[in-house]
Structure 1
Amino acid sequence: MGTVTDYLATLSGPNREALEHVVAIAREVVPEATEGTSYAMPALMVHGKAFLSTLETKKHLAIYPFSGQVFPRIADKLEGFDWATGTLRFSAAHPVPDEVLREIISLRVADIEAKLSQK
């Protein structure tokens, strides 16, 4: 059991279900994902780099792709959500559509792989 699994176990109700769904989509897109910590957040990792964290806060749920470049590239698909360059806020009642989650994850992983191939 890793840090993402441990974190989700501390939650309950609709928020837990919503965050578990985000993690399930991430594992579907990146089956080789491992669990770790980045910026003191439980994170899914690929090639040793964090590509996704999803957390419950007092006011909302959030997705963090550990990059300020992902959300601006898909801004047109984030209409109706509150977001900044490194954070996407949502709720269990208003979840991020699966196809948008897949695109967020795919873009971030592609960025990681592109940087690794440049080395």
Structure 2
Amino acid sequence: MSKPRKTIDTYREGFDGQAHELLGQLHALAREAVPEANEAIKWGHPAWVHPSGTIFFVISGHAKHANITFTPSTREAFDAELGAFETGKGTVKLPYGTPIPRNLLHRMIAHCVREHEDNGVPWM
């Protein structure tokens, strides 16, 4: 018998409290920002994927924070606004118990969609 397919909802079920809440907020924001994207699990984490197959972004839960990972060029385009957050190559660390920057993330998602659709920027 095959094991059940992991979904974004089952991914969230692996987290409690503030982590579960923050991942839910990110999931809702993603659905609102890119309703045309397909939801999938990539490398064990929730991802939003363009109908062409290109990944837009991925979220992941960790012990004390969640990450949202974009292409490095998307993350770099918003460096001036990300000063309050720890960042990596394409990641933005979102500590649990802190409100998510909805407007900023919404604009970052829109930017990565335009980057792919207008300029052909692929995932990583």
Category of TM-score, reference length = shorter chain: 0.7 to 0.9
Aligned length: 115
Give unpaired runs (5+ residues) of structure 2: none
Of residues 97, 100, 104, the one that matches 2:104 is: 100
CA distance in 2, matches of 1:13, 1:45: 27
Q: What does residue 41 of structure 2 align with?
A: 37
CA RMSD of aligned residues (A): 1.9
Alignment of 1:1-119 (within 5 A): 3-47=7-51, 48-65=53-70, 67-114=71-118, 115=120
Give unpaired runs (5+ residues) of structure 1: none
- Residue 37 of structure 1 and its aligned partner are, at CA, apart by 3.3
Question: Quick check: 1:60–1:89 contact (8 Å CA) kept in 2?
Answer: yes
CA distance in 1, matches of 2:103, 2:9: 23
User: 3-state DSSP class of the match of 1:51?
Assistant: strand
**Which deviates more from structure 2 when the two are superposed, residues 6-15 or residues 73-82?**
6-15
Bigger radius of gyration, 1 or 2? 2
TM-score normalised over the length of structure 2: 0.81
Question: Quick check: 2:6–2:41 contact (8 Å CA) kept in 1?
Answer: no
TM-score normalised over the length of structure 1: 0.84
User: 3-state DSSP class of the match of 1:42?
Assistant: strand
User: 3-state DSSP class of the match of 2:87?
Assistant: strand
The alpha-carbon distance between structure 1 residues 57 and 100, as it changes in their structure 2 partners (threshold 3 A), is same
The alpha-carbon distance between structure 1 residues 50 and 2, as it changes in their structure 2 partners (threshold 3 A), is farther
